[in-house]
A = this chain, B = another copy of it.
Amino acid sequence: MQAIQVNRARLKQAMETISAVGATPRGGLHRLALGDADKQARDLLCAWCTQAGYPVRVDRIGSMYARRAGRSEGDPPVLIGSHLDSQPMAGRFDGAVGVVAALEVMRTLDDHGIATHLPIDLVNWTNEEGARFQPPLLASGVFAGAHALEYALSRQDSAGLSVASELERIGYAGAHAAGFPISSYIELHIEQGVVLEQARATIGVVSGFVGIRDTRVSVLGENVHAGPLPMQLRRDALVGAAQMVLAAQEVGLAQSPDARVTVGRLSVPSDSHSIVPGRVDLVLDLRHPDAASLDALQAQLQERFAQIATRLGLSVQFEPYWNYAPIVFAPTLREHIRAAARMHGYPCLDLPSRAGHDALNIARVAPTAMIFIPCLKGISHNESEYASDEDIAAGADVLLAATLAAATQ
């Protein structure tokens, strides 16, 4: 491995230039997928890549690929990149860092006259955020075969405009197949958490994705008038649900830092100030990097919930809802990333990703890994999102070394 550094000034300039496209007055970014700002950002990326000698292809779901040729042009490329779309009134680093750094990696290889065995493709995935068009991770899902192309093209925004018609309008309805063989995928992204910041680490070697297990929980008691019946005789489903929310919190904290336990949806169908709730519906969201621990967490909480219900004269029903198994990234790529960080002297640590990224889809079809860099206080999807120039450059250095390792094999 060679400790090649990317060009800091050029990287910073590129970040500033692309951040101006869809910039908000308070230093954030509003660049919804396939809107006018997204088109401008795509055009800018296309111009940069083309001018640098990396021919751009666009696939049928609008994802952009820019190729730096390899010695063995027939082999599947190493894919690097991320996404240029943003959440509404969000930050300038989520996604863009990974795309701009990928371009800088290819330019730096050119600067140093380094040829790779495999070709390298930069990618800008369409509609990672899922803010304008649901679901998120749309184009990478098509790439990996998780979504049919027609399904993805038919998605509509709240105004009834489809992905297909908006791709057509902005000139990114491409002809390339959405999905092709790749040898590996590496994505650089801000952490959107505080693990790196708290550990004073610059580089996160992402171990994979936590598993997500969602269960619909219904707590059943008896609707009665809030007045006549003595409180002792009530079967108040909301009192039961409140105990369950606190049990979930307690169990989650006890398995810190690995577990995340959340009740983010809770509703009371009777919805009257004068009716003791006879039913409460909630969703229990469990996240853990280890599959067996996720199973154990679910079993433990369902048992606690059942005990609470029994004690209060209530009943409780469970219905499986979402279930994503944990994903473990390719060990070889993770070792490339770890070795790169060490070579550069960047403090690094292993951590799982707890938010969705396109790498979640791509890991289904190719060896995949991610590099995280810190973002201030973990704030993201917010105009005050911030990552330092130094950390972005460090991330790009590591992306370069890991890509080189993957592409020369």
Q: Which B residues are in CB contact (< 8 Å) with A201?
A: none
A231 within 8 A of B: yes
Q: Is the CB of A273 within 8 A of B243?
A: no
Chain B residue, CB-CB nearest to A372: B228
Q: Is the CB of B193 within 8 A of A229?
A: yes
Q: Which B residues are in CB contact (< 8 Å) with A256?
A: 230-232
Q: Is the CB of A265 within 8 A of B276?
A: no
Q: Is the CB of A265 within 8 A of B271?
A: yes
**How distant is A223 from chain B, measured CB to nearest CB, in Å?**
9
Q: In the complex, A356→B229 CA distance in Å? A: 14
Q: Which B residues are in CB contact (< 8 Å) with A245?
A: 238-239, 242
Q: Is the CB of A273 within 8 A of B277?
A: no
A323 within 8 A of B: no
A165 within 8 A of B: no
A24 within 8 A of B: no
A322 within 8 A of B: yes
Q: Is the CB of B194 within 8 A of A273?
A: no
A160 within 8 A of B: no
Q: Is the CB of B239 within 8 A of A192?
A: no
Q: In the complex, A378→B242 CA distance in Å? A: 26
Q: Is the CB of B263 within 8 A of A228?
A: no
A300 within 8 A of B: no
Residues 315-354 of chain A, each 1 if its beta carbon lies under 8 Å from chain B, else 0: 0000001100000000000000000000000000000011
Q: Is the CB of A227 within 8 A of B264?
A: no
Contact A249:B231 (CB < 8 A) given known A226-B262, A263-B238: yes
Which 5 residue pairs of A and B lie closest in terms of their CB atoms, listed nearest first? A193-B228, A227-B354, A242-B242, A242-B245, A226-B262
11 contacts across the A-B interface (CB closer than 8 A):
A195-B230, A226-B264, A227-B287, A230-B256, A231-B261, A232-B256, A236-B262, A242-B246, A243-B246, A263-B277, A264-B268
